[in-house]
Structure 1
Amino acid sequence: MTDTLPGDSLRTQISHADLDYDHPAPRSEAGMPVGNGRMGSLVWTVPSALCFQLNRVDIFGNDFSSHNFYERNTDYCGGAGFVNIDFGDMVFGGAGFRQHLSCYDGAVTVQKGDVRASVLAWDRQDVMAVQVQDRRRSGASVHADLRMLRPAAVHRGDHRAESAVKVQGDRIVLTQAFREGKYYCGSAVVIGAEGCRVKAEQVNESTVRLYTEPQAGKPFSFFMASAAGFDPGEDLVAAAMHKLDAAQQRGFGGLQSDTRGWWHRFWQRGTIRLHSTDGVADDIEKHYNYYLYVMASASRGRYPAKFNGMIWTTGGDTRQWGGLYWGANQSCLYNALLPSLHPELLDPMFGMYSDAYASYALAARQQWGSRGIYIPETGAFNGVPALPDSIAREMRSLYLMQKPWEQRSRAFRNYAATQMPYFSRWNWTAAGKWVDGRWVAPDRGGGPYGPVTHIFSRSAKIAYQYWQQYEYTLDTAWLRRSAYPMIKGMAEFYRSFPNLKKEKDGKYHIRYVNDNEPVWGGHNTAEEISAMLGILPAAISASKILGVDADLRAGWKELLQHLSPLSLSAAYPEATGAPTWVKSLPPVVKGNGRALPDPNTLPQWFFDLCNPGAPAARLKTANATYDAYFRQGIGPRTSIYVLSRLPVAGAILGRADAVRYLIPNQIHTKEAEIMANRMDQREGRQTTNVQRLGRAAEALEYALCQSAPPEPAGDPVIRLFPAWPAEWEASFTLRARGGFLVSAAQRKGRTAYVKLVSEAGATCRVLNPWPGRAVTLYRDGKKAGALRGRMLTLSTGKGEHLLLMPEGTAPDIR
């Protein structure tokens, strides 16, 4: 009982998100994305060829233990190999060119004259397939080139990157192997063809070629299979060959049927439909569906898609910001998936963090002298490495401000000199340079501080996402197995953190911490106080649900009861106007503590502290703080940054102007060049991504349906269209906390209906969508009485379908 459309209508709706080019992409980064969530490529053309860089989410040139990437932006990941399908002639130049991405089918077609190519990524195996229809009479042959991303052997210290190409029967093969100390990662790409005669040949040290001799006028296909792994004993070529065998047995038509079926089921789960007379709402819908397409194409593997390039790099596997994950940027991609109908796309994120739990627990002890866990703002796919005991002891004393920075030992300096400078624990390292053949990198001048060194709220945000996922499902098995260890770990980290202490005012204060990147060494920062105000109630509630850790629960309650409040501008004598939240109380090592909270993170809004129903005084401060970001008001020309959460916060506060202007302005931001494929490279070289679309998607979902509690870990309340412009029409199906699917429509400024599916059998609380009117309730299609009042409270059974209509109206669900 979701708000779905018939097949043809659904195809029409989703097709609004398609990409359609009438001329070749002007650059490879503007190619069209095709992927199965584990493997993918942008698809672009040069005059004679169809081009790919095959990428995977699970290829990493190094891991957390590396000592050879002390230059910024030199660590790398993702790339498996270059592929060109060459037509031997300038087939893709001039008029009559068309390239089309169908989001509904998950496929790209390229056509010019007598040449047509169809591209897909098979959902069942890691195989991309290209069907070619070539009706030219010129006799020009078509061949596929498979080429290395780098020279055959690249050495950096004891890091080895070795690539090799070979011919194996009538197939061509490219392998990669990355080794450093005990670390290994390898990959293999194998290409074969069907529907034609083939001949495989090694062109040179870096390239192998597959020639084809197709039958006149008949289509033929290339199949590109890949595999990757971290076990040096695994035969990755054999694994890729097995996938290729399966693909060729199924044939292009079978792969196309399978892949279309997967994508059609994906879209049939439910949709968001938007319309406004000026077309702005329609444009938001188009970009929302495109965001979902890109995420489904890139986030179904073992690891989450990386913010900086995802699986869409086209110039090799080096990229700005390297191979580490940045928590704030990752949140742009993943936050909007929680209320969406595709929570499985979050599995790679949760899986990566859960798999690295032991390393986070060790990092908390070694680096900070805390119990629980510490997940750094920037870290590797496999977590945080162990430190030698002597280095760990000195690190604690330095980072906790117990030992002067100037007194760090030579051993500590030498150990730090070869570490990755973007890794949180070493981010006090400034940009370096080569001097007389030696890499010299000074510190940033803030002692042990750097932009991401002393951030703990990222750990809490990740743990809180586990809690929110539980709230959306009420799956206690998942809570016990996956979520609670993270939630408990963060509550215990804060409770035992050495620089969180009860001071003379009887309140706990946290000192010597960052407020995201701009403020270093602050006091009671917005990030950390917000994080504790959110994670502690979640830990208390989760432990009660599971019936565990009553002794710890008492400590968490005591900390929460005596925690310092969120810091206010009134702490600064020069402050004027209505009190607002600020980044930090003084003293601050570096940065402007009295500035407004970081608009890219807005922790008060993330941790459910500003939801409708929150204490009136807090909401007054929330609204004053929000207004302070927009001294000139919000309008059509209000600029909004790629990473900004201000549209999200505005939607949570019920600001229709934030939705009307900030969401479209973020989608079409002037802060980055938006390419023809609707992606941007705001993060720098080789960082093709959809961060801004993820932020806009999150704001859209909150504008349509909010289900958060008035306080962290409270009882969720469903609110329909809380920030939706009255003149815009909308219908949707989204997930709601409490284990509900919610479908509703707004027409001419009024809610037309509300449908609910109870997936967990929980009590449902709905703010009356028709204030002052009675509501007719239908259960499983049968009238079940009337409801009255501002808050409608319904008991539900698991799997039960409910319909709410204003009294006196007949069901009219269109």
Structure 2
Amino acid sequence: MKRLFSMLCFGLCAVTHLYAYTNRKDTLTVNYPAIAGAADLDYTRPVTRPEEGMPIGNGRMGTLVWTVPSSLKFQLNRVDVFGNSSASNSFFERNTDYCGGTGFVEVDFGRDVFSAPAFHQHLSCYEGMVTTAGRKVATRGLIWEREDVLALEINDQRETSLPVTTTLQMLRMPVTRKGSHQALSKLRQEGDYIILTQEFREDDYYCSSALVAAVGGRAVEAEQNTATSIRLRTLPGSPAFTVYAATAASFNPSEDVVKAAVSKLEAARQKGFTALLQDNRAWWQQFWQRSYIKLHSADKQADYVSQHYAWYLYIMGSSSRGRFPVKFNGMLWSTNGDDRKWGHLYWGANQSCLYNALFQTNHPDLLDPMFDMYSRAYDSYATAARQQWGSQGIYIPETTGFDNTPVLPDSIAAEMRDLYLVRKPWEQRSSAFMEYAYTKMPFLSRWNWKKDEGWKEGRWHTGSKSNSTFGHVSHIFSRGAKIAYQYWLRYEYTQDTAWLRQRAYPMLKGVAEFYRNFPNVRKEKDGRYHIYHINDNESIWDGHNTVEEISAMRGIFPALLKAARLLHTDSDMVPVWQEFLDHLSPLPEQTAGGQTTWTRSLLPVLQGKPDWHPDGNTMPVWFFDLCTLESTPAVQQVGNNTYNTYFDKGIDSTAGVYVLSKIPATGALLGKPEAIQYLVPNQLRRRPNEEVLRNRMDLSEGYQTTNIQRLGRAAEAVQLALCQSVPAGPGEESVIHVFAAWPRSWDAEYTLLCRGGFLVTSAMLQGNIPFVKLEATQGGQCRIRNPWNAPVVLYRNGKKTQVLKGSLLTFAATKGEQVTLQRQR
């Protein structure tokens, strides 16, 4: 009872005002535990479905924690376990491939202990720990930050000492075959360990995983009670003991994953639970202090948004620190095996929901898995550009595997170019091409024209979605540009010249050269470069000058030119790239009722509505800084006209927002407070009849797709409304805007990273901005719009140095210097 009372007190403290001003008017006292604690989960009744469990993870391995009356249950998942590669010929039927899981873990107490009213479960986001209390049984669980180990401390105070049983269970039968693919699962005991291994093989592909469990503080005995599970039973002993479960994975057949997992487990067991918790507390404390947002409003809508923002950060911190980016469809939170809708592939648009908001959080490490995956596959993207499209540079597909894009046989590649570039009629395709395509994964972009027609007489039948090679993601090139632009943004936010030279520049150059050499880009009689036979995201098939692709080119070439000049490289190519940009077609437009708006495409198109506004999930014009608060009035007018077409009746509390929509973020970029006040809360709640789980996640992508896509989109919008750093166009100098789209009735306090490497801290209380503090992480010239429209006093490291006037404030700052701006009184 005393423990429950203390937990309730902590929860009450978390919802009180979290900050206080010090005597200095430019300083906030920040209660980081309370900021994180506002996102805690607290259950007084058990979940009725595993997907509503509480998430814990270290970025590489994770699990939801849920209960049945007698047990705690887990499924340990990893970001680096994949059943097959992109070259697989065994998963030609959609949604049949799998990934992520290593095995089920269950800790059973022998009788019902976890049922209401004697039940309480709490997730501390500040520590990354789940506590669960039942009838005279209490547990604390975490995943160790340093190694891939689940540690569950158990305090069993029941009068009758009962064995506590830890079970490892396979995700499938011991032998599973599909075509030339096979998945082998095995169980065994070694010493006081129980072990579950998996091996996935197909042709040259190999992946394996190991899950090992043991106990510290009690003697144990092991038994295998079914073909798919093995149990470790504790003998009567101390009421306090710890269950450990460790995982490892590899793509190398010669690597001993069991040895690796055992090594991790022993490192954890030797330290003990208390030391593991101290490690996690130290890591999470540092994590929460790198940036923050705290919001409050009288109607609690701002508080609701603030809670979900902290939850977004917790989930990304728990799931995006591994070798591969966490997947949009299930993340590390699968609970029913490793089958999941959409399989093991990455959709660029969906992944962007998770990763676009991370730049301003000052957590570059959380972006590393995404960048690393694309950089590793660079050479294969260059091969794909040549083989599939007859171009140069690199081609990054919208839908891709975790691995390289497969190399094609020369004859297939030659015919593919003719078909995909619309040089050869679809009706003239060869039987050799169709036979080769038959077994390929239909979600991969290059095979996305394939249409499932089902099993007939024991054979899988496929057709074409459009009687051509066009499908939803078949002819999208803008994904490569968006990925490359994110590399550029990483440089802009960090000012890391080594990153620009070694990582970003090759991507920018590769994508630009793809466009410049693409066979269906040509200069017409109007003196402009046009692009033909391409998609506009999934909306337009076989279009002309689609807004996605024109935006991509108009974004990537200025960034490339700026980077080349900064690095003093490719001087011979700079005029070539400049000529291409100078003569590139404008964004597609239409004018009606005296108002000009951007449209999706020019005619002709094979499928879709070209004279419609840009795709609300991708908003390409705004992604590439083509329309910002620094743009010319004419550009801003077209941007506002376009935005308004989404809301014929204006924006209020009734406006529905799709889970993937970037419309709230675009509203923030255009300086619209109503986009934050109404659209962001509605996006978090989802539309009527769309479910949000108890743990604030959802299954919007289908079965086994527990995710936070909508939270990432909302986080991006909130950050941009509080503090955005934008140029007048791509490759130009950025200008900081504080509270550019913030509702005046919402109080806010924050620290966020801006382009140029400036950490910005500010507040708005009752509509007033008391100060803006900027810390130069690298040093350089700062440009910021005057938030007061009055003379501004500038302080350097606490000392008044000058008074600035005008709309645009510009000053230099050295690395580590703190500059504070206040309105002159």
TM range (shorter): over 0.9
Question: Contact 1:525–1:585 (CA<8 Å) still a contact in 2?
Answer: yes
Describe the superposition over 1:400-424 as per-residue Cα deviations: whole angstroms up to 9, x where unpaired: 0000011110110000000000000
Question: Contact 2:377–2:403 (CA<8 Å) still a contact in 1?
Answer: yes
The answer on 1:711 being equivalent to 2:729 is yes
Describe the superposition over 1:656-688 as per-residue Cα deviations: whole angstroms up to 9, x where unpaired: 011100000000012631000000001000000
1:260 alignment partner, SS class? helix
1:565 alignment partner, SS class? coil
Amino acid at match of 2:354: L
The answer on 1:297 being equivalent to 2:318 is yes
1:763 alignment partner, SS class? strand
1:741 alignment partner, SS class? strand
Query: 1:276 maps to which residue?
Result: 297
Q: 2:778 aligns with which of 753, 760, 769?
A: 760
- 1:50-199 equivalences under 5 Å are 50-199=72-221
Deviation at 1:290, TM superposition (A): 0.2
The answer on 1:642 being equivalent to 2:659 is yes
Q: 2:447 aligns with which of 410, 413, 426?
A: 426
Q: 1:514 aligns with which of 522, 530, 535?
A: 535
Q: 1:16 aligns with which of 25, 33, 38?
A: 38
Q: 2: CA distance between counterparts of 1:18 and 1:209?
A: 32
User: Which region of structure 1 is more displaced relative to structure 2, 609-618 or 380-389?
Assistant: 609-618
Q: 2:497 aligns with which of 471, 476, 483?
A: 476
Deviation at 1:341, TM superposition (A): 2.0
Amino acid at match of 2:194: I
Describe the superposition over 1:531-570 as per-residue Cα deviations: whole angstroms up to 9, x where unpaired: 0110000000111111111122212111110111110124
Q: 2: CA distance between counterparts of 1:449 and 1:143?
A: 54
Q: 2: CA distance between counterparts of 1:138 and 1:589?
A: 73
Structure 2: 5+ residue stretches without partners: 1-23
Query: 2:741 maps to which residue?
Result: 723
Amino acid at match of 1:761: G
Q: 2: CA distance between counterparts of 1:47 and 1:55?
A: 23
Question: Contact 1:446–1:590 (CA<8 Å) still a contact in 2?
Answer: no
User: Which region of structure 1 is more displaced relative to structure 2, 87-96 or 729-738?
Assistant: 87-96
The answer on 1:738 being equivalent to 2:756 is yes
Question: Contact 1:173–1:188 (CA<8 Å) still a contact in 2?
Answer: yes
Q: 2: CA distance between counterparts of 1:745 and 1:794?
A: 21
Describe the superposition over 1:628-657 as per-residue Cα deviations: whole angstroms up to 9, x where unpaired: 100011001110000000000000000001
Q: 2: CA distance between counterparts of 1:589 and 1:615?
A: 34
Q: 2: CA distance between counterparts of 1:668 and 1:534?
A: 33
Question: Contact 2:377–2:404 (CA<8 Å) still a contact in 1?
Answer: yes
- 1:227-376 equivalences under 5 Å are 227-376=248-397
Q: 1: CA distance between counterparts of 2:744 and 2:81?
A: 47
1:269 alignment partner, SS class? coil
Amino acid at match of 1:742: V
Amino acid at match of 1:658: A
Q: 1:437 aligns with which of 458, 480, 499?
A: 458
Q: 2:818 aligns with which of 792, 798, 801?
A: 801
The answer on 1:668 being equivalent to 2:685 is yes
Q: 2: CA distance between counterparts of 1:606 and 1:462?
A: 11
The answer on 1:537 being equivalent to 2:537 is no
Deviation at 1:4, TM superposition (A): 9.3
Structure 1: 5+ residue stretches without partners: 809-814
Describe the superposition over 1:555-590 as per-residue Cα deviations: whole angstroms up to 9, x where unpaired: 2111110111110124xxxx5452211110110001
Q: 2:798 aligns with which of 781, 792, 805?
A: 781
Q: 2:61 aligns with which of 32, 39, 52?
A: 39
Question: Contact 2:92–2:440 (CA<8 Å) still a contact in 1?
Answer: yes
Deviation at 1:13, TM superposition (A): 2.5
How has the CA–CA distance of structure 1 residues 781 and 6 changed in structure 2, closer, same or farther, with 3 Å as cutoff? closer
Describe the superposition over 1:84-137 as per-residue Cα deviations: whole angstroms up to 9, x where unpaired: 101110111231211111101111111112011111010000101101111112
Deviation at 1:139, TM superposition (A): 2.9
| RMSD of aligned alpha carbons | 1.3
Q: 2: CA distance between counterparts of 1:14 and 1:42?
A: 19
Question: Contact 2:758–2:775 (CA<8 Å) still a contact in 1?
Answer: yes
Describe the superposition over 1:366-398 as per-residue Cα deviations: whole angstroms up to 9, x where unpaired: 111111101000010013110000000000000
Deviation at 1:461, TM superposition (A): 0.3
Q: 2: CA distance between counterparts of 1:140 and 1:670?
A: 48
Q: 2: CA distance between counterparts of 1:36 and 1:551?
A: 46
1:718 alignment partner, SS class? strand
Query: 1:812 maps to which residue?
Result: none
Q: 1: CA distance between counterparts of 2:454 and 2:733?
A: 55
Amino acid at match of 1:681: L
1:307 alignment partner, SS class? coil
Amino acid at match of 1:225: A
2:226 alignment partner, SS class? coil
Q: 2: CA distance between counterparts of 1:339 and 1:265?
A: 16
1:430 alignment partner, SS class? strand
User: Which region of structure 1 is more displaced relative to structure 2, 457-466 or 434-443?
Assistant: 434-443
Describe the superposition over 1:154-186 as per-residue Cα deviations: whole angstroms up to 9, x where unpaired: 111111100101001111000000011111000
Describe the superposition over 1:331-380 as per-residue Cα deviations: whole angstroms up to 9, x where unpaired: 00000001112121000000000011011111111111111101000010
Query: 1:203 maps to which residue?
Result: 225
TM-score by structure 1 length?
0.97
1:284 alignment partner, SS class? helix
Q: 1:609 aligns with which of 612, 626, 632?
A: 626
How has the CA–CA distance of structure 1 residues 695 and 166 changed in structure 2, closer, same or farther, with 3 Å as cutoff? same
% same residue? 55
2:219 alignment partner, SS class? strand
Q: 2:699 aligns with which of 668, 681, 684?
A: 681
How has the CA–CA distance of structure 1 residues 220 and 344 changed in structure 2, closer, same or farther, with 3 Å as cutoff? same
Q: 2: CA distance between counterparts of 1:690 and 1:482?
A: 28
Deviation at 1:5, TM superposition (A): 7.1
Question: Contact 1:4–1:270 (CA<8 Å) still a contact in 2?
Answer: no
- 1:206-217 equivalences under 5 Å are 206-216=228-238
Q: 1: CA distance between counterparts of 2:800 and 2:236?
A: 64
Q: 2: CA distance between counterparts of 1:205 and 1:727?
A: 62
The answer on 1:747 being equivalent to 2:765 is yes
2:586 alignment partner, SS class? coil
Deviation at 1:694, TM superposition (A): 0.2
Deviation at 1:445, TM superposition (A): 2.2
Q: 1: CA distance between counterparts of 2:479 and 2:218?
A: 54
Amino acid at match of 1:749: G
1:128 alignment partner, SS class? strand
Deviation at 1:214, TM superposition (A): 4.7
Question: Contact 2:58–2:321 (CA<8 Å) still a contact in 1?
Answer: yes
2:207 alignment partner, SS class? strand
The answer on 1:502 being equivalent to 2:523 is yes
Q: 2: CA distance between counterparts of 1:258 and 1:795?
A: 39
Query: 1:659 maps to which residue?
Result: 676
TM-score by structure 2 length?
0.96
Q: 1:590 aligns with which of 601, 607, 627?
A: 607
Q: 1:388 aligns with which of 409, 413, 438?
A: 409
Query: 1:811 maps to which residue?
Result: none
How has the CA–CA distance of structure 1 residues 446 and 552 changed in structure 2, closer, same or farther, with 3 Å as cutoff? farther
Q: 2: CA distance between counterparts of 1:614 and 1:213?
A: 71
